[in-house]
């Protein structure tokens, strides 16, 4: 070993060269021999060619891996796009659902208002028939004591004015402040205040926290303020405190 390549790493390199030569010779085609010119060189070329071919295959494998990486990237992009599309569809579906619920609420509110309007219309029609035909007035007599037919007609007309104002508030035509101003205008008439006093026992049966009961209490305060304004000689159009809401 020492004679061939010295000591250290040199013998190993010598052995590696000999093994390489043997591999080259084993790769030669039939009929070649170790004594032919270029044998070792040819063998080395064969080996280099084999290594080059191996490198080419490795390169192809690397290219394939790179292409596969791009394919995986493309697939990942497709997944992101698909997820974004699904999210967009879900958001759109939610918006459609909310819009449909709002539309349904609007339709129900319109139906409620139409029903209320028709009911009030029937009420006014019945009251009108009672005021036109004196023989029907006893059927509408819900007052304490005996009333003259003319007084009863005035009360029925006053009730129609009050109900008309209240319906305007229910339908959103009048705000609470507008309703207060309108009621102050119609209740500045003594005939309206007499009607209100004659129907006090009607309002006693209302649910305490109902909207109509609260409105009745507002009119009670307004009527008291109008009475005070009339007694003191003050202007009626400034009587009463406007509601906060």
**Confidence at residue 71, expressed as pLDDT on a 0 to 100 scale:** 54
- Separation CA 221–CA 227 (nearest Å): 10
What mean pLDDT comes out for the span 141-161?
87
Residues 6+ apart with CB under 8 A from 159: 127, 195, 199
Return the higher-pLDDT residue of 152 and 33. 152
- Separation CA 216–CA 132 (nearest Å): 28
Whether this prediction's pTM lies above 0.85 is answered by no
Q: Which 3 state secondary structure label does DSSP give 225?
A: helix
Q: Is the pLDDT of residue 95 over 70?
A: yes
Q: What confidence tens digit (pLDDT) does each residue in 181-239 have?
A: 999 999 999 999 999 999 999 999 899 999 999 999 999 999 999 999 998 888 888 88
C-beta separation of 218 from 233 below 8 A:
no
- Separation CA 146–CA 138 (nearest Å): 10
Quick one: DSSP state of residue 147? -
Burial class (CB in 10 A: 0-12, 13-18, 19+), 235: exposed
Max Cα–Cα distance, the chain, nearest Å: 152
- Separation CA 101–CA 217 (nearest Å): 36
**Confidence at residue 181, expressed as pLDDT on a 0 to 100 scale:** 94
Burial class (CB in 10 A: 0-12, 13-18, 19+), 43: buried
Q: What confidence tens digit (pLDDT) does each residue in 168-192 have?
A: 998 889 999 999 999 999 999 999 9
Residues 6+ apart with CB under 8 A from 219: 183, 187, 196
Return the closest-CA partner of residue 195 out of 203, 207, 180, 182. Answer: 203
**Confidence at residue 75, expressed as pLDDT on a 0 to 100 scale:** 59
10 Å Cβ neighbour count for 126? Answer: 13
């Amino acid at each position: 070993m020492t004679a061939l390549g010295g000591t250290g790493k040199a013998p190993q390199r010598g052995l590696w060269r000999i093994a390489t030569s043997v591999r080259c010779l084993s790769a030669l085609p039939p009929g070649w021999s170790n004594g032919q010119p270029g044998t070792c060189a040819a063998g080395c070329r064969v080996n280099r060619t084999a290594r080059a071919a191996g490198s080419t295959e490795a390169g192809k494998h690397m290219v394939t891996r790179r292409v596969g990486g791009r394919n995986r990237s493309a697939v990942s992009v497709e997944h992101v796009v698909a997820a974004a599309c699904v999210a967009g569809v879900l958001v759109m579906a939610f918006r459609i659902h909310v819009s449909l619920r709002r539309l349904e609420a609007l339709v129900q509110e319109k139906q409620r208002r139409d029903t209320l309007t028709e009911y009030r219309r029937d009420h006014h029609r019945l009251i009108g028939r009672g005021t036109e035909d004196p023989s029907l007035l006893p059927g509408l007599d819900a007052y304490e004591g005996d009333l003259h037919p003319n007084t009863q007609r005035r009360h029925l007309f006053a009730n129609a004015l009050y109900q008309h104002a209240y319906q305007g508030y229910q339908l959103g035509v009048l705000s609470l402040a507008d309703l207060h101003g309108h009621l102050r205008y119609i209740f500045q008439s003594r005939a309206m205040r007499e009607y209100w006093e004659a129907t006090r026992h009607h309002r006693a049966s209302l649910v305490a926290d109902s909207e109509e009961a609260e409105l009745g209490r507002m009119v009670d305060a307004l009527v008291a303020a109008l009475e005070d304004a009339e007694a003191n000689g003050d202007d009626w159009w400034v009587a009463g405190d406007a509601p906060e809401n």
